[in-house]
Amino acid sequence: EVQLVQSGGGLIQPGGSLRLSCAASGFTVSSNYMNWVRQAPGKGLEWVSVIDRGGSTYYADSVKGRFTISRDKSKNTVYLQMNSLRAEDTAVYYCARDSPLDYWGQGTLVTVSS
């Protein structure tokens, strides 16, 4: 059974850093595209980043240069390292597999506030 279990998140001050994790089971993350998608309170879905099978990475303009997506094959886990966090990064963050995004994690709330 395919599952994505997220961890990390929480309350962080502006300018701080946080790492989100997305542990996969039932498939191999390096054989799939893996995405991060976020949703600010009361807003729609916003694509954040994707890592493809070859390890190439892509980012939304709003996070480029501040966020880094990566994966650990030994742990079958995808990460989102978030640096220089801003209030506007406050959102529920989801990891999701492929396109179509057929499996989603449960989501984790990141709140950037002093």
Partner 1 sequence: SYVLTQPPSVSVAPGQTARITCGGNNIGSKSVHWYQQKPGQAPVLVVYDDSGRPSGIPERISGSNSGNTATLTISRVEAGDEADYYCQVWHSGSDHPVVFGGGTKLTVL
- Which residues, 81 to 100, sit near partner 1 by CB under 8 A? 94, 99-100
List Cβ neighbours of 87 (8 Å cut-off, separation of 6 or more): 14, 112, 113
Q: Is 102 in the site for partner 1 (CB under 8 A)?
A: yes
Cβ–Cβ under 8 Å, residues 25 and 95: no
**Shortest CB 5 distance to partner 1, Å:** 12
Q: Give the residue among 39, 45, 28 at the shortest CA–CA distance from 98.
A: 28
Distances in Å between the Cα of 94 and the Cα atoms of 22, 39, 114 are 9, 8, 23
**Shortest CB 45 distance to partner 1, Å:** 5
Binding mask 37-76 for partner 1 (x = CB under 8 A): x------xxxx--x-------xxxx---------------
Tokens of 99: 């396109």
Stretch that binds partner 1, among 14-22, 65-73, 78-86, 104-112 (CB under 8 A): 104-112
| Interacting residues with partner 1 (CB under 8 A) | 35, 37, 44-47, 50, 58-61, 94, 99-102, 104-107
